[in-house]
Structure 1
Amino acid sequence: MKSLKRLSALLTAAVLTTSLIGCGAAEKGSNSADSSQKSTEQKVSNVNISYVKSPLNVPSIVEKKKNLFQDEFSKDNIKVTFPEITEGSKMTEAVASGSLDFCNAIGATSVILAASNGVNIKIIGMYSRAPKAFTIMAKDPNIKSIEDLKGKKIVGPKGTILHQLLLGALKNKNMKIDDVQFINMGIPQGVSALMSGSSDVALVAGPAVSQALEKGAHIVTTGEGILDATIVIAARKDFLDKHMDIAKRYMNVHNKSLQFMKDNPDETYKLASEETQISVDKVKEMYNWYDFSPKITEKDIKELEKTQDFLMENGMLKKKIDIKSLIQDISK
C-alpha cells in the first residue's frame, strides 16, 4: 500500500512539473512573439523626408514648424530628419541611394525622368497644382506677349515645370524653342540676370515672382491654360514594400497639416511668411493660387502623361513608362 501511495505521489509531482514546464514554455513563446513584434515595429529608426519651402509649399512649412511628423513618429522612437534638397534630380538621386524615404513636394518631371532611368520610385499622392505660381517674366515694357519672345534671350531651369511652361506657351503660338535663345539657369540667378539686363526674359516661380514685380518686372504669362504645374509626393518603392504602415501614417500627418491650414488660416499665413521671408499679404495672395488636394484624379494622370510627352518631344526622355504603374495611391 505504501508503495502504491509513493508511486501516486511521484506521478502527481511529475504531472505538476510537466505542466509548469509547459506553462513556462508558453510564456516564453508568448514573450518571444511579443519581442519579435516589437522588433518589427521598431525596425524603422529613422525616416528621411525632404523639405522644400518654395515656391510656397505651405503643408511642408506647417508640418515642420508644428512638429507634426515628429509628434507622430516619436511615439515609436522613430527619428525624423528633413534634408533640404531643393532640386528634383538631387532628390531622386537620394531616393536611388536609399538616403531619402519621402519626397515631400517634387516636380512630376523629376519623378518621370528618374523612373524612366530605373529609379524605383512611386507617386503616392498629389502635393499641389498651381499654374498661376509659374510665370514667364520680362522687364522690357515692349515684351508683352509670347510672340514678342522671338529672338530673345530667356533664362530658366531646364527640365522643370517652368521649362515646360515656356515650351507650351511657344507651341500655342506655333513657335519652337529654336525661335528663342534659351539658357539653363536657376530661378534666383535668372531673376538677377533679368534685372541686370543680361537676359530679356526669365522663367520665375513662387516668392521670386513678387520680388521681381517689386523690382519693375512684369508677367508675360502664367501657366494658366497651358499646364497644371503638377507637384507630387513620392517615395522609395522598397520602403513602401517594407513599411506601408509608416507610409500611411505619413499621409495621415500630411492630411492633418491640410486640416490645420483650413482651421487656422491666420497662423498658417504667419508661419509661411516667417519661413519664406515674404509679407503676410503676399502669402495670402499666392496661397489662393494653390490646390493642395492630395487625391490623385484622372485629370492629374492625364497631366502626368502630358508631362511625359513634353519630356519625350524635347529629347529629355528616351524611354516612355506606363504612368499608371508609377502611381501607388495611398492617399485614399
Structure 2
Amino acid sequence: MIKKIAACCMAAVMLVASGCSDSKSSVSNSNEPKELKITYVKSPLNIPSIIDKNLQTVSKEFAKTDTKISYPEINSGAKQTEALAAGSLDICSALGGTSAILAASNGVDLKIVGIYSRAPKAFTIMAKDPNITTVSDLPGKKVAGPKGTILHQILVAALAKNNLKPDSVELLSMDIPPSVNAMLNGNVDAALVAGSDVLRAQKAGAHIITSGEGLVDATIVISARGDLVKNNPDILKRYLSAHRKNIDYMNQEQAKAYDFTAQATGLTPEDVVTMAPWYDFDPEIKTSDIEDLNATQEFLLATGLQKIRSI
C-alpha cells in the first residue's frame, strides 16, 4: 500500500523539488487557464496562507502571465473536494488527509502535490471533569467531536493504544466549537478539540487528556484537480514555489507573520506565539507522510467511513 501511495505522489514530490527554481524560467504557455481558484483557509492556524493573503505572493507570481487568482473561503474538507469535482475549484491549499482520501475513494480526480502541515500537538482530546485525566477514564463516557476527521482518528488510536475499542465511548458527531461548549456545559464528558479552541477550552478550565503526538501526524495536504496536474504541471511548480516563499517569510519575519495571523484569526499575539510551534509547514512529501496517509486510510476503512481503497 505504501508503494502505491508513493507511486501516486512521485510526480508531486518532483513538483515540490522543482518548485524552488526561478519562477521566471517556468512562465507558462498559452494553454494555461486564465483564472485559478485556490482555497483560502486560515483556521486553525494556517500562517503561510495568512501571509499570502497579506503579501499576495501567489497572485503576484501568476500576474506574470495575466492569470487571475481568486480565493474562495471553503473550510469544510467535504465541500472543498465537492468543488474540486465540479471544476469550480483548482487547488485545495489546505485539505485534511481524511477528506482527500475519502474524496479519491468516491471517484474525485485529485492529486496530492504537497504537504501543508503536520500538527499532532494541535489536535487533542480534552475534558473539564477533573476525574477524567487519561484515555483509560473514557470508557462509558460521551465524547463530542467531528466524525471522520483527524480528531476522530486520534480518538480511535488513543483508545486502541489503551486496549480499548472505539465503541467503548459514545461519540456524538458535531463541529469543534459546539463540542467544546457541550463539554464546558457538562453535556458531554470529553471533546475532540483542535487549534485555537484548545486554548479557549483551557482558559475555561478544561485540560488536555492527550494530543495526537505519538498517535497520528495530523497531516494536512495540498491537492489539485487531476487534469490540472496532468495538463499544466508548470502551474503547480509556480504555485508551490510561491507557497515556499510565504514559508520563508514566516521564518525570516516571524514578528510580522505572527501579527498578520493574530489580526486574521482574532487570537492574541501571545496565543499565536504559543500555538505556532505546534505546526510543521514543510511542504515536502516525506516517507513518514505517506505512512501517515496510509494509516489514515486504514482508519477510514476500519470504521466503515470508506468502502473502497483509493491510495
Give the TM-score taking structure 1 as reference length: 0.84
Which of 85, 89, 96 is the matching residue for 2:74? 85
Amino acid at match of 1:47: L
Matches within 5 A, 1:18-97: 40-41=29-30, 43-97=32-86
Instruction: Say if 2:32 and 2:232, in contact at 8 Å, map to a contact too.
Output: no
Q: Over alpha carbons, which structure has the higher Rg?
A: 1
Matches within 5 A, 1:10-25: none
* Separation in 1, partners of 2:41, 2:153: 20
Q: Relative to structure 1, is the Cα distance of residues 47 and 171 closer, same or farther in structure 2, using a 3 angstrom cutoff?
A: same
- Hey, what does 1:247 align to over in structure 2? 236
Instruction: Report the Cα offset of residue 40 of structure 1.
Output: 5.0
Instruction: Report the Cα offset of residue 280 of structure 1.
Output: 1.1
* Separation in 1, partners of 2:205, 2:116: 31
Q: Secondary structure at 2:278's aligned position in 1?
A: coil
- Hey, what does 1:18 align to over in structure 2? none
- Hey, what does 2:153 align to over in structure 1? 164
* Separation in 2, partners of 1:148, 1:41: 61
* Separation in 2, partners of 1:118, 1:278: 38
Instruction: Say if 1:42 and 1:76, in contact at 8 Å, map to a contact too.
Output: no
Amino acid at match of 1:222: S
| 1:186-244 deviation digits (Å, cap 9, x = unpaired) | 01111111111111111000011111111111111100111110111000011122221
| 1:40-60 deviation digits (Å, cap 9, x = unpaired) | 537512111111111111111
Q: Alignment length, in residue pairs?
A: 285
* Separation in 2, partners of 1:63, 1:176: 43
Instruction: Say if 2:114 and 2:222, in contact at 8 Å, map to a contact too.
Output: yes
Instruction: Say if 2:28 and 2:235, in contact at 8 Å, map to a contact too.
Output: no
Amino acid at match of 2:227: D
Amino acid at match of 2:161: N
Instruction: Say if 1:138 and 1:219, in contact at 8 Å, map to a contact too.
Output: yes
Instruction: Say if 1:42 and 1:77, in contact at 8 Å, map to a contact too.
Output: no
Which of 265, 270, 273 is the matching residue for 2:259? 270
- Hey, what does 1:115 align to over in structure 2? 104
- Hey, what does 1:214 align to over in structure 2? 203
State the percentage of identical aligned residues: 50
- Hey, what does 1:13 align to over in structure 2? none
Return the structure number with greater helix share: 1
* Separation in 1, partners of 2:208, 2:118: 19
RMSD over aligned Cα atoms: 1.4
- Hey, what does 2:183 align to over in structure 1? 194
- Hey, what does 2:249 align to over in structure 1? 260
Q: Relative to structure 1, is the Cα distance of residues 305 and 43 closer, same or farther in structure 2, using a 3 angstrom cutoff?
A: closer
Instruction: Say if 1:138 and 1:194, in contact at 8 Å, map to a contact too.
Output: yes
Which of 79, 84, 94 is the matching residue for 1:105? 94
- Hey, what does 1:133 align to over in structure 2? 122
Instruction: Report the Cα offset of residue 39 of structure 1.
Output: 11
* Separation in 2, partners of 1:145, 1:43: 53
Q: Secondary structure at 1:226's aligned position in 2?
A: coil
Q: Secondary structure at 1:92's aligned position in 2?
A: helix
Which of 264, 282, 293 is the matching residue for 2:271? 282
Instruction: Report the Cα offset of residue 317 of structure 1.
Output: 1.0
Which of 165, 171, 183 is the matching residue for 2:172? 183
* Separation in 1, partners of 2:69, 2:99: 24
Q: Which has the higher contact order (CA 8 A, sep 6+)?
A: 2
Instruction: Say if 2:28 and 2:65, in contact at 8 Å, map to a contact too.
Output: no
Q: Which runs of 5+ in 1 are unaligned?
A: 1-37, 324-332
Give the TM-score taking structure 2 as reference length: 0.89
* Separation in 2, partners of 1:105, 1:43: 23
Q: Relative to structure 1, is the Cα distance of residues 202 and 296 closer, same or farther in structure 2, using a 3 angstrom cutoff?
A: same
Amino acid at match of 1:87: S
